[in-house]
Amino acid sequence: TFASGKRAASADLSVIDDPQQPKQPKQPRMPKMRKSLTPHNTEAYLKIRVKSEAAVELFFRYLYRRMCVRLQMDRERLRTPLPTILRGDELLDVPHDPVLAMATTGNAYRHLDTGTMTLGLDVKATLITIGLTPGSPEFFAGALMACLIDMSGINAAVLREGLALSRWEHSTVAGERVLEYPCTLDELRTLQAFISKYELRQKSVGFAGTKLYSDAGFQTQGFRWTGYLAEWLRTTASGSCLFSDVAAQVRSSSSWQEVNLTVQTLPGVGGYTGAQALLQVFYGVFAGDAAACFTAAFELASMRNWCAYGPGPSTSCRRLFGTSDSETLAGIRWLQEHQQERFSRYGLQFPYLRQPDGAPRLMAACDLEHSLCYFSRYLGVRERLGAQAEALCREMPPGFRLFRISKLQGMS
């Protein structure tokens, strides 16, 4: 048996144990191919039929609650109020719903995500500090690199303790924020070597440190990133490395679909990881400025009706509409096209952001995708609670929030 606990087939043992046996050369990994850029069927949502009216209503009430929570947090923390379609003196109370509170709340609009904004500021400051010019190809590549590594699920606390990036030597102020993630090719090589060494350390007998990747991390692929990063750094026919080639292609893409499908050609990057990293780059680092982020070929309008997504939105749309994974985007588009009508139907005065011309800023596909992801977790919580336990939660007084549901499971 090997350290992994897997037993080798008898036919393989002679090959492994015989030192005279010539080693077979490693076959080069086939590069990931970009999915074809097919024209998006903007009318596909017309074929969508609601499977559960109750679930659809829950989702729109969830959106409403998310936005109300954000506005309340702004008031409590004395932040500059967001420009909404509400009157200046009009306040919306957060609806009391202890079960709904179990789903992460706070932003119905993707660009308002506080984690994205914080990471974006850190990345931007770091890139400027090391001498890169905003708007340059190198600046974009550095931003994309840092945001992709952030989405890998790696434990930033471990990186702070053990990854010796050269820029940390200049950090002398106590409590100063220093970006943990690499944003240059040299730093990426350092990270790849660090992950490889930490894997050996973590698998050693008696390891009592912090795991580099959490077992419970969402979509974490763990130490497979050692191989992924090795592929990113592989020299290509252009004389550059794979990551540099892909970053340049992403930046020069003409549509949001092309941007996403191109970044997914990097090993280890799928729909969820790629989409969220790109949104962190666009909304976090570049503050939604398409001209600064991409080239003049990029069409900002392409972001309205198309988005990449992971399993969360697919799960939610399956509950709402009975759609297959391939129909998820059509389900998102249905929610997008019916948002105003549905809020009105449920008696909800949704506090849309106000555009410069006074019109409401309707939620785009990426906004709804983000909420559908968290909504899928809410649906899972409801299923685990059971009907009686859910009813018990709803009897709790305002301000009650149940963080641990284990004691209420199995009551149905």
Any domain includes 325:
yes
Contacts of 165 (CB under 8 A, 6+ apart): 182, 187, 190
pLDDT recorded at residue 410:
40
Q: Would you state the structure tokens that stand for residue 258, as one six-digit string? A: 């092309």
Q: What is the pLDDT of residues 107-150, one digit of tens each?
A: 899 999 999 999 999 999 999 999 999 999 999 999 999 999 99
Contacts of 137 (CB under 8 A, 6+ apart): 247, 248, 251
> With pLDDT > 90 as the criterion, what percentage of the chain qualifies?
63
Question: pTM of this prediction?
Answer: 0.85
Choose one of 286, 303, 320: the last residue of a domain. 303
Task: Return the closest-CA partner of residue 371 out of 412, 407, 320, 325.
Answer: 320
Give the three-state DSSP class for 61. helix
In this structure, the answer to whether residues 127 and 270 fall within a common structural domain is yes
Task: Return the closest-CA partner of residue 116 out of 70, 150, 141.
Answer: 150
Choose one of 280, 303, 326: the last residue of a domain. 303
In this structure, the answer to whether residues 214 and 123 fall within a common structural domain is yes
- pLDDT tens string, the chain, 412 residues long: the values are 333 333 333 333 333 334 444 444 444 456 677 776 776 777 899 999 999 999 999 999 999 999 998 998 888 888 999 999 998 777 788 887 777 766 666 689 999 999 999 999 999 999 999 999 999 999 999 999 999 999 999 998 898 888 877 776 655 566 667 788 999 999 999 999 999 999 999 999 899 889 999 765 556 789 999 999 999 999 999 999 999 999 999 999 999 999 999 999 999 999 999 999 999 999 999 999 999 999 999 999 999 999 999 999 999 999 999 999 999 999 999 999 999 999 999 999 999 999 999 999 999 999 999 999 989 988 887 787 777 777 777 777 766 655 444 444 443 3
In this structure, the answer to whether residues 327 and 382 fall within a common structural domain is yes
Q: Would you state the structure tokens that stand for residue 18, as one six-digit string? A: 């015989």
Task: Return the closest-CA partner of residue 343 out of 362, 356, 366.
Answer: 362
Helix 365-385 to helix 311-321 angle, to the nearest 10 degrees? 70
Domain region containing 295: 114-168+176-303
Q: Which residues pair with 354 in a beta bridge?
A: 360
Choose one of 244, 272, 303: the last residue of a domain. 303
Q: What is the pLDDT of residues 76-87, one digit of tens each?
A: 888 999 999 998
In this structure, the answer to whether residues 190 and 295 fall within a common structural domain is yes
The answer to whether 376 touches 313, Cβ cutoff 8 Å, is yes
pLDDT recorded at residue 223:
94
In this structure, the answer to whether residues 184 and 218 fall within a common structural domain is yes
